[in-house]
Amino acid sequence: MNLLKKIPAIILPACLLVVTACNQSSNDKKTTPMTDSTKNAVLPDTAAYAKTINGKQTHLYILKNKHGMEAAITNYGGRVVSIVVPDKDGKQTDVVLGFDSVGGFQKSTERYYGATIGRYGNRIAKGKFKIDGKEYQSTINNTPNMLHGGKNGFQEMVWDAKLIDSATLELSYLSKDMEEGFPGNLKVKVTYSLTDDNSFKCDYEATTDKTTVVNLTNHAFFNLNGEGSGTVLDHTLQVDADTYVPVDSTLIPLGKIETVANTPFDFRKPTTIGSRINNDNVQLKNGKGYDHNFVLNKHTITTAIATIIGDKSGIKMEIFTEEPGLQFYSGNFMKGLNAMKGGKKDEFRTSFALETQHFPDSPNQPSFPSTLLKPGQVYKTQSSYKFSVAK
């Protein structure tokens, strides 16, 4: 699957690269619980996200659909701070890990909480890749490799933001030529929205003036029992993938695709995350658990490629995507060093990530789907996370 659609690039007008704080007066008010019940999740105070970083203003934007589902997103790193949905008892539950203030993200030992990831999500071996015979060196920030765009990837940037309506936020960013070692001025637009079927929808778009590599995703860390509720090992996961990408000890692909059959990576039927995570398996040892790309079976945007259910809450999350891969991360590097929104620490394996994307190290793996983007093409891809209660 190659999602780089060869259609004429439409140069985004400069006005899209200017922060538009639509309805910001209402967004700067302190939020309150969705109902009078003290059991319901409370979104962060928007005032705690008003800060100047690198000369640009940060905000917290609150999205809401007609059913009361809410999401909080900051333009610092294009980060998803909260997603609030009802559990099996109707309790409004925040299923995303985040911080009470923008300063929490700045100080966090985990740089990717909720972030929009780019210019290249996942790893590139030793940060090196070639385009048209020319070698480029991206920043090494996960020794010996480049991870998620380098030291100052998109998660560190203050994006220009425009609140389109009460349920839609548009973020834009100009990644300049050779930023973190990547060629081309890349104009990026990401639109996050809530739909009325309780989906969190992610639309990504980019154009370039030089041939480059692009792999955009969002790195929300989820716990469907609610942030701070403990381990995710009893969550039940199902992934529509017959194969996955094995990696070396630095989590770089070995260059082959292997079957999930008779391995701990077989999630074709609903299986708890923790049921096989401690098996004697070299791939689990390399990842210190699950940190692997699943090669998704043939699918369309209307077919769920993964489903995960919180064991306590009954909250079900279905994932839809146009991407060929899904990176499953089981919170293996969490060390309890950060206090999250509710004051609870981010302890070992108390969240997971399911990132829709192209495969890791694709620029150096000719057999993998291409991540090249050329002038005159538009990178355009969509993913969504739909929430409901398991029957």
Measured CA to CA, the distance from residue 331 to residue 312 in angstroms comes to 19
Residue 128: strand pairing partners: 137
The DSSP bridge pattern shows strands 291-295 and 236-239 to be unpaired
Contacts of 366 (CB under 8 A, 6+ apart): none
101: region left, alpha or beta (phi > 0 left; psi from -120 to 50 alpha): beta
Residue showing tokens 């690039």 = 9
129-144 in b/e form (b: 16+ CB < 10 A) is bebeeeebebbbbbee
Handedness of CA 171, 374, 149, 53 (dihedral sign): negative
Residue showing tokens 């309150």 = 32
Measured CA to CA, the distance from residue 258 to residue 225 in angstroms comes to 32
151: region left, alpha or beta (phi > 0 left; psi from -120 to 50 alpha): alpha
Is 110 part of the annotated catalytic residue set? no
Taking Cα atoms as reference points, which of 66, 56, 71 lies closest to residue 21?
56
Residue tagged active-site, from 148, 219, 235, 358: 219
Is 67 part of the annotated catalytic residue set? no
Q: What is the 3-state secondary structure (H, E, C) of 47-98?
A: HHHCEEECCEEECEEEEECCCCCEEEEECECCEEEEEEEECCCCCEEECECC
Measured CA to CA, the distance from residue 8 to residue 242 in angstroms comes to 35
Task: Give the residue numbers annotated as catalytic, written as ranges.
Answer: 219, 355
